[in-house]
Amino acid sequence: MSQSEPGQEELHSRRFFLGGIFAFLTSIGLIALGAFRFVVPNVLYGKNQRFKIGSPKDFPDKQATYLPEQQVFIVRDGDTFMALSAVCTHLGCAVRTDPDKPGFFCPCHGSRFKPDGTNYAGPAPKPLEAYEISMGNSGELIVDKRTLISPKDKYRI
Ligand code: FES
């Protein structure tokens, strides 16, 4: 009987020791997890910024074709192409083709843009963004939204 009491104490002290080790390792793990979340921020990177849009012949001449997934207008004028952002430069509404004249119209506050994206009416402070277009090996046009160009630098096929 008297020998079991020291065994109980030893068991308690072992449990206490293992509990301390567990608490210590748990705290280290939580700190490491916090540090990892700090290094890898909680960010969604969105859609691919460089994408194929199809063959040049897929786009009707003298028209702006809207690509809703990419929020881009492809404007074709003969053998020249432009990729214009469909996001208004005022407060970010989606522009649409102007029903009254060639170009684009923002329904939010009435900004108007020429077919090359130049702003000419309403509160929009600058032209629509224009993106680089190139030709892929498969003969498909590629738009790169990471590369802004001047609207004068149209892509010619
Ligand atoms: S958001 Fe387009 S005019 Fe204001």
For residue 31, name the pLDDT band (cuts at 50, 70, 90). Answer: confident
Closest protein CA for atom 3 of ligand 1? 109
Give the helix ranges, DSSP H, for 2-156: 4-39
pTM exceeds 0.75 for this model = no
Tokens of 139: 């003969």
pLDDT at 2: 47
| Ligand 1 cavity residues, CB under 6 Å | 88, 90-91, 93, 106, 108-109, 111, 122-124
Counting atoms of ligand 1 from 1, which one is nearest the CA of 95? 2
Percentage of the chain modeled with pLDDT above 90: 62
pLDDT digits (tens, 9 = 90+) for 133-154: 999 999 999 999 999 998 778 7
Task: Give residue for tokens 């996001």.
Answer: 87
pLDDT digits (tens, 9 = 90+) for 1-27: 444 565 777 777 777 778 888 888 888
Work out the mean pLDDT of the chain and round it to a whole number.
87
Q: Which CATH architecture has domain 50-156?
A: 3-layer Sandwich (2.102)
Residue 131 CA to residue 43 CA, distance in Å, equals 24
For residue 66, name the pLDDT band (cuts at 50, 70, 90). Answer: very high
pLDDT at 132: 96
Q: What is the dihedral of CA 156, 83, 130, 64, to 10 degrees?
A: 110
